[in-house]
Structure 1
Amino acid sequence: MSTDLKKSPSNGYEKTLTSEEQQQKINEIRRLVEPLPDKLSIYCSDASISRHLRARNWNVKKATKMLKETLKWRLEYKPEEIRWEEVAHEAETGKIYRSNYVDKYGRTVLVMRPSCQNSKSIKGQIRYLVYCMENAILNLPPNQEQMVWLIDFHGFNLSHISVKVTRETAHVLQDHYPERLGMAILYNPPKFFEPFWTVVKPFLEPKTYRKVKFVYSDDLITKKIMEDLFDMEQIESAFGGNDNSGFDINKYAERMREDDKRMPSFWTRGNTLSEDPQPALTSATCLNPANLDSDSNASDKEKAVNSSSNEVDSEVSPDDNLLVNNGSKDGTGDVH
């Protein structure tokens, strides 16, 4: 069957492949990154590889390079091992938290309040953000793989702008959490945020910044974005909803501690439910860092043209802790 090419405003043409062609590319990438230890094989399920391929416009060489870099990062950073007690101090002000509701598509919602930044440590801020991403993924329903960010600009001023944090945030989210963002709602951003957004956009992939929606409480047209996406009875009053309960760090800490207990079994479940049959991996099977470093499927020539088709549908919208997300996809029960 032939491959159809669709015109795209971002890169001219966007590949649309048949299911058979997609599966062939998925299988090819799996062969290129194996063998893997059990703990990393979960990231080579069909759904996970598919996200990396979509992020790289179905280019096998670029997607393989991206996946290898993510596997190496996960091996070294160990994001799934971060626990609440390690990052609780970053969460005290409610600058990022997982809401107790989902949107109308069942997507996890992360609320972000950049004006509540309480840390000068970029390392600490990014580590807490990664914890929140892992927790959001943990709480995704089986038929959903993306999340929504609700970003509240109340109290936001120039002192809360950090290009360095934004750049590092964009790097982690786009490179290591591709296709996880469904939509990012920027709620009541001040006028001075617009030039900052102009500076930040080059850090983001075209697919990513197209997921960012500006919503203003005094604009009926943009307010409809919220109403179409959420049950307003459940939404915080800060976003025009009817929930006035506010953020309670003690109650939130209880939720996170319970989620932490689920993480190890979640990983086991993910390995067990992985739809892709993996070869038997023994304790002697180990990830070869040299192999991860090698760009076995990405030539220098391809790197040079990377910007033309390098569409990462990741999750980011800028600011001290700003990010973005949209739509649902395959319901494979994949963890990452």
Structure 2
Amino acid sequence: MNTGLKKPALDGCENSSSPELQQGKINEVRRLIGPLSGKLALYCSDASIARYLRARNWNVKKAVKMLKASLKWRLEYKPEEIRWDDVSMEAETGKIYRSNYKDKYGRPVLVMRPRCQNSKSIKGQIKYLVYCMENAILNLPEDQEQMVWLIDFHGFSMSNISIKVTRETAHVLQDHYPERLGLAILYDAPKIFEPFWTVAKPFLEPKTANKVKFVYSDDPNINKIMDNLFDMELVESAFGGKDDADFDITKYAERMREDDKKIPLFWREDGSLAAAVLPVVTASPSLETTNSETESDESDVKAEKLSSPGEEDDARLNDESPHVKHT
């Protein structure tokens, strides 16, 4: 679909100079990662490897280290195996949901409503966030790889959020979903949120923080900002749109269960057997850090320490625009 919108250039590409050099670096990452099987092999498509390279400004050794950490995480956490019924209790208030519409770039939209927080479990909250991320990726169009977060601050209070959950959210997003966030709009964030943002912002790598935009309903430019991104006929009234329907957990559960049925097909490769019947990877020696990588990392320690506190290897997400899915 031609929206007439110009897609901004991907950050970091200037460091790789040409498509041929980019492909060469993708191939080098693949060589250093080593042979994989099952879902991990499917995950490591050229498009996926390119996201990790962009997140590390096309530095091959850093991208390999980051990707190996993600592969270990996926092997242990198994995000693609989470289903709606595993997280439905976290979801019942509509604190996070995927909207029925996409933005004008075709990016899926995750709506977040902090006031609807219904859980004290960090583990449960992160598991539901991961499910939502995987579901948004499942619903990406072929020419797109990013999503938008719309965060509704109406009715917000400080009891709705947690530094620990925010820190873990930043870790999961930046380290294991690089290049997936295109934009996060914080809509009508109140003054009481500002001290929290001051504390939370250092958890974010600067490129990620730059994707966070504060939007206010009393801003005279609000219509232009939102109209440039969305068909406002479809957007919730909480964000100045025309849709005033309430969140319906029953209907949403039906949508998610239908999406869950698509997951085995999503983990297929060109019509081969579904990932559900592919061999399970129980160990992967190639995911261990090599001596050469360790030596290289030592030279980068000072630079890495300048990034987010407590995060050795934060993902450098690029600025907006769309590319390809993981396959």
TM-score (norm 1): 0.85
* Residue 297 (structure 2) pairs with residue 294 (structure 1): no
**1:66 paired to 2:59:** no
Residue 245 (structure 1) shift = 1.1
Aligned counterparts, 1:33-72, within 5 A: 33-72=33-72
CA pair 203-154 structure 1, distance change in 2 beyond 3 A: same
Segments of 5+ residues of structure 1 without an aligned counterpart are 1-9, 275-281, 315-324
Aligned with 1:329 (options 302, 322, 327): 322
* Structure 2, unaligned runs of 5 or more: 1-10, 273-277, 308-312
Name the amino acid aligned to 1:263.
I
Alignment identity in percent?
67
* CA-CA distance at 1:286 after TM superposition: 4.8
Q: In 2, Cα distance between the equivalents of 1:266 and 1:65? A: 26
Q: 1:60 to 1:308 in 2, by over 3 A?
A: farther
For the Cα contact (< 8 Å) 1:207–1:311, is it kept in 2? Answer: no
| Secondary structure of 1:297's aligned partner | helix
State the shift of 1:257 in Å. 0.3
Q: CA deviation at 1:302?
A: 2.1
1:178 paired residue number: 178
Q: 1:32 to 1:140 in 2, by over 3 A?
A: same
TM-aligned CA distance change 1:326 to 1:273, over 3 Å: farther
Give a deviation string over 1:168-209, Cα, whole Å, max 9, x none. Answer: 000011000000000000000001211211111111011101
Does 2:315 correspond to 1:312?
Answer: yes
State the Cα distance separating 1:93 from its structure 2 match. 0.4
Structural RMSD (CA): 2.4
Q: Counterpart of 1:151 in 2: which secondary structure?
A: strand
- Shifted more, 252-261 versus 214-223: the winner is 214-223
Normalising by structure 2, report the TM-score: 0.87
Shift of 1:226: 1.1
Show the counterpart of 2:122: 122
Q: 2:193 and 2:271 mapped to 1: Cα distance?
A: 44
Question: Deviation above 3 Å: which 4+ runs of structure 1?
Answer: 285-291, 307-311
| Distance in 1, Cα, partners of 2:42 & 2:228 | 34
Rounded Cα–Cα distance in structure 2 between residues aligned with 1:267 and 1:20: 28
Shift of 1:20: 1.1
Label 1:311 to 1:87 Cα distance change in 2 as closer, same or farther (>3 A): closer
* 8 Å Cα contact 2:175/2:314 also seen in 1: no
Letter in structure 1 aligned against 2:83: R
Q: Tell whether 2:140 aligns with 1:147.
A: no
Task: Give the Cα–Cα distance (whole angstroms) in 1 for the partners of residues 319 and 215 of structure 2.
Answer: 15
Cα deviations by residue, 1:295-332 (Å, 9 ceiling, x for unpaired): 55352222332256977344xxxxxxxxxx9522333x
Question: How far apart are the structure 1 equivalents of 2:119 and 2:319?
Answer: 29
How far did residue 78 of structure 1 move? 0.3
Tell me which amino acid in the other structure corresponds to 2:323.
D
CA distance in 2, matches of 1:21, 1:34: 20
Q: Deviations over 1:88-133 (max 9, x none)?
A: 0001100000000000000000000011000010000000000000
Output the CA distance in 1 between the equivalents of 2:246 and 2:281: 47
- Secondary structure class of the residue paired with 1:67: helix
CA contact (8 A) 2:105 2:322 kept: no
2:29 aligned residue: 29
Q: Distance in 2 between matches of 1:234 and 1:227?
A: 11
Could you tell me how far apart the structure 2 residues matched to 1:26 and 1:306 are?
22
Alignment partners' CA distance in 2, 1:326 and 1:57: 13
